[in-house]
Amino acid sequence: MKRIFEIDPWKVVTHEFKPEEKRLQESMTSIGNEYMGMRGMFEETYSGDTHKGIYLGGVWYPDKTRVGWWKNGYPEYFGKVINAVDFTKVDIKLNGSSVDLAKDEFSDFELALDMKKGILNRSFIVAKDGQKFRLNFERFVSVAQKELYASKITVENLSDTEASVEIRSYIDADVFNEDANYDEKFWNVLAQNVAETHMSLTAQTIPNNFGTPQFTTEMLADHVTDLRPMAAETTEKSVINTFAGQIAAGQTVTFEKRVIVVTSRDHETQAALTQAAQTLSQKQAESSFEELKVAQAAGWAKRWEKADVEISGNAESQQGIRFNLFQLFSTYYGDDARLNIGPKGFTGEKYGGATYWDTEAFAVPLYLALADESVTKNLLKYRYDQLAGAYHNAQQQGLKGALYPMVTFNGIECHNEWEITFEEIHRNGTIAYAIYNYTRYTGDEEYATHNGFDVLVGIARFWADRVHYSKRKGQYMIHGVTGPNEYENNVNNNWYTNMLAKWCLNYANEIADKVSAQKLAQLDLGETERQKWHEIADNMYLPQDQELGIFVQHDTFLDKDLTPVKDLPAGQLPLNQNWSWDKILRSPYIKQADVLQGIYYFVEDFTPEQKEKNFDFYEPLTVHESSLSPSIHSVLAADLHKEDKAFEMYSRTARLDLDNYNNDTEDGLHITSMTGSWLAIVQGFAGMRVIDGELEFAPFLPKEWDDYKFRINFRGRLLSIEVDKEGSKIELLKGEPLKIKLNGEETKLAAK
């Protein structure tokens, strides 16, 4: 654990700058608006170690696969969101010398991300040539106008003599990805324009051999400043506007840079790009920087109104939950069905920025409750639109039906590690589960019975082909899989996978009863095939141990040496930094919920005894070395009235990045895991469930807190739930009256 920011309810703020923590600081002060985002790198020159990263949603490159040992069926490329053309870059010269915090003396440093308003602010006093200056930087990517990046630099001369200032502002396509497989740079410059106070650059991703789109982006920068324009330059890969002037003693100059970023994802031709950039730029020019900020704050206020969680009695928790929601919404807010939620959002390169099953497993429940239904529907539509890719993936493995990928931009599998790519197929079940989850929460069956049904049938057909019949056992089995616990690979009959496959077959059949004859005919789904699905589901082998009363993680799990985690010698944790891979694999230690993930999905279908026996068996073997682990355990512990355990697990997810728990936040934030603290509070502490179309709560107050309060959206209503030492209070803030269950008792709510 390493906490480098101060505790504050609405801010991520620090008054220290340590070069060795720069990457971590950059990750933590990332900003985004779904359309684009960036790490918290400095705008101005910084000659020390830094990881500059600006990313545009859906702008990626298919980087040719590079592996040590090729396995049949590996994908041809690994898609990655590439580092965009750098439109933030400036060089600030004071008395002829560049401001560079890696070299300059400075004081009064403050860095603050205002989560309420979505604005990043930084200021410090720097000494140059015997004079002192206060510099202030503000920046944001607009949630009111997605194409807009706005920044404002203020330079105040604190000395008693005049000083010179020169600011060079860049749009620079000479950028690289730290994780490029072949050290290629991904941008070619197509056009450059530069005039006195504005400039633009058009760049295109380099060609690829895989038939995936080449993206074109245009960046158009306008400057508003007290300084005089001095030069307009182009270099091979950049354009530069230079401004200069004098600052009298005690005086201040300001420098605004507003950039419009448009891409070929929204505009087909290069001419259309330029036209769009100009139109947007003119429109933005009508507003002052203050007005743009007001619009930004208003946009964020609207989001917080629907989603804020207030916690009294624990300032760390308060900051933690807001930080998680802020970063989630910065990554994805459902405006564009072609986008999804990368595990690191716009905060780093690792994992390539593509789509994982994390979205359906961990993000969908949150967006269902905190944003409009259309947001989740867009997430579902994303998978429907990529169904052809999923069929392709199954075919690559010689199988029928659709296999959703582990990692993708376009539906085609990008991951290349056989034990994951080929074997972690449980992901396919979660794609179907998200349809079920949406349908259950919204009550809207339209998606499941129309486009969603195409997805369900593809998935069911995959499972029906992927199972095999064991003559010895007289049951269907699934060999050679990796479950959610990636600390075991290539196991047979993972209970979670088999259970989910069985459920998928049954659910597809259940929905099939509700779809039109026309739809069935269109998908060529007849009685014989449906009967086969029934037969497989009814005869699916689900490993259990009668004596222990548990579901068995996979066939030979119980032969392991089952020493609990707490009895490991000191210094062994985290295992992934201390044990060789083979030792981890044959150990009983679980990276993230596996059997318990399945119980979490269908928590209302298991008896308290089943839940307790499995929890008590598996949790002591779990090392939670995936950021996706503790939240699921928190929800289940709460369900079992293990309140201390629930809070302990919540604590590990609440400030995962704020406290750099896994010692890897410098690579970027764990965006999809950020749902975890919300799930722990809402599904865990407050016990929220939707059963038979009815909302239910069974709240408790963690003894570490005085009070907590959150809002959720449910079928057109906005509800507020508050839990304090007296008990719990549920209010309907907006919408038609509804019945809910609170602690098992039916209650009718009406808005006041």
List the binding residues for substrate.
357-358, 591-592
481 neighbors 541 (Cβ within 8 angstroms): no
Which string of b and e fits 726-749 if b means at least 16 CB within 10 Å? eebebebeebeebebebeeeeeeb
Minimum distance of a copy of itself from residue 309's CB (angstroms): 36
Cα of first residue to Cα of last residue in the chain, in angstroms, is 45
Nearest CB to a copy of itself, comparing residues 286 and 582: 582
Minimum distance of a copy of itself from residue 571's CB (angstroms): 12
- By C-alpha distance, which of 293, 254, 41 is closest to 153? 254
Residue 295 Rama label (left phi>0; alpha psi -120 to 50; beta): alpha
Minimum distance of a copy of itself from residue 459's CB (angstroms): 17
Residue 232 Rama label (left phi>0; alpha psi -120 to 50; beta): beta
697 neighbors 728 (Cβ within 8 angstroms): yes
Q: How far apart, in whole angstroms, are the C-alpha atoms of residue 683 and residue 656?
A: 19
Which string of b and e fits 353-376 if b means at least 16 CB within 10 Å? bbbbbbbbbbbbbbbbbbbebebb
Nearest CB to a copy of itself, comparing residues 282 and 577: 577
Minimum distance of a copy of itself from residue 481's CB (angstroms): 9
Minimum distance of a copy of itself from residue 118's CB (angstroms): 35
Nearest CB to a copy of itself, comparing residues 422 and 650: 422
Nearest CB to a copy of itself, comparing residues 466 and 633: 466
Minimum distance of a copy of itself from residue 53's CB (angstroms): 21
Which contiguous run of DSSP H or E holds residue 550?
Answer: strand 550-551
Nearest CB to a copy of itself, comparing residues 472 and 748: 472
Nearest CB to a copy of itself, comparing residues 206 and 562: 562
Beta bridge partners, 309, equal 710
Residue spans of beta strands (DSSP E) within 596-691: 689-691
**Burial (0-12, 13-18, 19+ Cβ within 10 Å), 690:** buried
Position of tokens 């509800």? 719
Residue 663 Rama label (left phi>0; alpha psi -120 to 50; beta): left
- By C-alpha distance, which of 193, 213, 218, 214 is closest to 203? 218
Q: How far apart, in whole angstroms, are the C-alpha atoms of residue 513 and residue 530?
A: 10
Quick check: helix, strand or coil at residue 68? Answer: coil
Nearest CB to a copy of itself, comparing residues 328 and 406: 406
Angstrom distances, CA of residue 78 to CA of 174, 418, 523, 671: 22, 14, 31, 20
Provide the edge-to-edge strand list for the sheet that holds 97-98: 97-98, 90-94, 163-172, 238-247, 228-234
Minimum distance of a copy of itself from residue 674's CB (angstroms): 24
Binding annotation: 357-358, 591-592
Sign of the CA dihedral with 266 first, then 415, 463, and 502 last: negative
Q: How far apart, in whole angstroms, are the C-alpha atoms of residue 443 and residue 178?
A: 45
Residues at the site binding a copy of itself, with contacts judged by CB under 8 A? 65-69, 71-74, 396-399, 416-419, 422-423, 468-473, 477, 479-480, 489-490, 492, 555-556, 558-562, 576-577, 579-586
39 neighbors 25 (Cβ within 8 angstroms): no
Tell me which residues are annotated as active site.
486
- By C-alpha distance, which of 508, 390, 521, 497 is closest to 439? 508
Nearest CB to a copy of itself, comparing residues 239 and 425: 425
Judge if the upstream peptide bond of residue 737 is cis by omega within 30 degrees of 0.
no
Tell me the chain's radius of gyration from C-alpha atoms: 27
Nearest CB to a copy of itself, comparing residues 52 and 415: 415
Minimum distance of a copy of itself from residue 500's CB (angstroms): 18
Phi, psi of 126 (to 5 degrees): -120, 145
Nearest CB to a copy of itself, comparing residues 131 and 498: 498
Q: How far apart, in whole angstroms, are the C-alpha atoms of residue 621 and residue 565?
A: 5
DSSP 21: G
Nearest CB to a copy of itself, comparing residues 74 and 409: 74
Minimum distance of a copy of itself from residue 80's CB (angstroms): 13
User: Beta 90-94 vs 97-98: how paired, if at all?
Assistant: antiparallel
DSSP 561: -
Minimum distance of a copy of itself from residue 399's CB (angstroms): 8
Q: Tell me the H-state helices in 266-358.
A: 270-285, 289-307, 315-331, 358
Minimum distance of a copy of itself from residue 63's CB (angstroms): 11
Nearest CB to a copy of itself, comparing residues 181 and 254: 181
262 neighbors 203 (Cβ within 8 angstroms): no
**Burial (0-12, 13-18, 19+ Cβ within 10 Å), 473:** exposed
Q: How far apart, in whole angstroms, are the C-alpha atoms of residue 239 and residue 317?
A: 45
Minimum distance of a copy of itself from residue 469's CB (angstroms): 7
